[in-house]
């Protein structure tokens, strides 16, 4: 069966079984999606930012929706697609220029010395620890809450993979692995501290399907 069809089948099952929105974040998205994008929409976005979206995510936008149901509080989708006259700077005010730059990390990263050395006042988001260079080449696609975000790498060696930005909690940036998913869904995510270079980031489809499987298991139990 086509992978997208598999995901749609599980999405339908989950929406029916979780009618009272017991799955974390489901009250926000309520198992709804924003309209799908067209090939032209995506081509405009790719041309505007000089990049090529990973194939799995591209197909999801074309066949499932541009944001909505998903891990955390739901998928964010691409912003500003429907407004062709909008200046690029207005779409991604903070990081539109770095979307096409390659993502630099290949293993979990955390350097708390950057906070101490560059920000003695500990004012959030104003020091080298939160420099956008650490998330260049990524799209933030979901908010898990508590300052934890999932990013889809769209440029560079890790293209198509999920990484987690957990700098708000001083945990750095690390692969969106099965270990992370297990920690977030089945235990207290505050207890998860990535410290292994062997953790492998999941692809977009694997990450999304893992969330579906865990959510279905939760509801059935």
**How many folded domains does the chain comprise?**
1
* Placement of tokens 């500990």 in the chain: 122
In the predicted structure, residue 125 carries a pLDDT above the cut 60: no
Q: Counting beta carbons within 10 angstroms of the beta carbon of residue 179, is it exposed (0 to 12), middle (13 to 18) or buried (19 or more)? A: middle
CA 47, 48, 53, 59 dihedral sign is negative
Percent of the chain clearing pLDDT 70 (strictly above): 81
* 112 vs 139: CA distance, rounded Å: 24
Supply the range of the domain harboring residue 169. 3-220
DSSP result, the chain: --HHHHHHHHHHHHHHHTTT--STTHHHHTT-BPPPPPHHHHHHHHHHHT----HHHHHHHHHT-SSBS-STT-B---SSTT-TTS-HHHHSTTTGGGTTSPP--SS-B--THHHHHH-TT--TTSSGGG-GGGSTTEEEEEEEETTEEEEEE-SSTTTTBEEEE-GGGT--EEE--HHHHHHHHHS-GGG-----TT--PPBHHHHHHHHHHHHHHHHH-
Q: Counting beta carbons within 10 angstroms of the beta carbon of residue 184, is it exposed (0 to 12), middle (13 to 18) or buried (19 or more)? A: buried
The model's pLDDT over 57-103, given as tens digits with 9 standing for 90+, comes to 999 999 999 999 999 999 999 976 654 444 444 444 445 678 999 99
User: Which residues does residue 78 pair with via DSSP β-bridges, in sequence order?
Assistant: none
Structure tokens at 204: 């977009």
The model's pLDDT over 127-143, given as tens digits with 9 standing for 90+, comes to 789 999 999 999 999 99
**Which whole number is the average pLDDT over 178-200?**
65
CA 94, 200, 154, 71 dihedral sign is negative
Please check whether residue 199 is in contact with residue 94, taking contact to mean a CB–CB distance below 8 angstroms.
Answer: no
Please check whether residue 195 is in contact with residue 109, taking contact to mean a CB–CB distance below 8 angstroms.
Answer: no
* 88 vs 90: CA distance, rounded Å: 5
The model's pLDDT over 4-32, given as tens digits with 9 standing for 90+, comes to 999 999 999 999 999 999 999 999 999 99
């Amino acid at each position: 069966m086509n992978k997208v069809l598999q995901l749609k089948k599980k999405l339908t099952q989950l929406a029916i079984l979780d009618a009272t929105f017991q799955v974390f974040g489901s009250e926000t998205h309520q198992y709804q999606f924003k309209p799908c994008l067209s090939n032209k929409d995506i081509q405009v976005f790719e041309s505007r930012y000089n990049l090529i979206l990973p194939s799995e995510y591209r197909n999801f936008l074309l066949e499932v929706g541009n944001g909505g149901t998903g891990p955390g509080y739901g998928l964010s989708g691409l912003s500003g697609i429907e407004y062709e006259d909008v200046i690029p700077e207005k779409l991604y005010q903070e990081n539109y220029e770095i979307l096409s730059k390659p993502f630099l990390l290949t293993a979990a990263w955390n350097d708390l010395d950057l906070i101490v050395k560059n920000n003695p006042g500990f004012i959030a988001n104003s020091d080298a620890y939160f420099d956008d260079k650490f998330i260049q080449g990524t799209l933030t696609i979901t908010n898990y809450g508590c300052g934890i975000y999932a990013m889809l790498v769209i440029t560079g060696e890790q293209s198509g993979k999920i990484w987690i930005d957990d700098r708000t909690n001083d945990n750095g940036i690390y692969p969106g692995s099965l270990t992370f998913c297990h920690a977030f869904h089945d235990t207290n995510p505050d207890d998860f501290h990535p410290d292994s270079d062997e953790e492998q980031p999941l692809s977009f489809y694997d990450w999304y399907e893992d969330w579906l499987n865990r959510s279905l298991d939760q509801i059935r139990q």
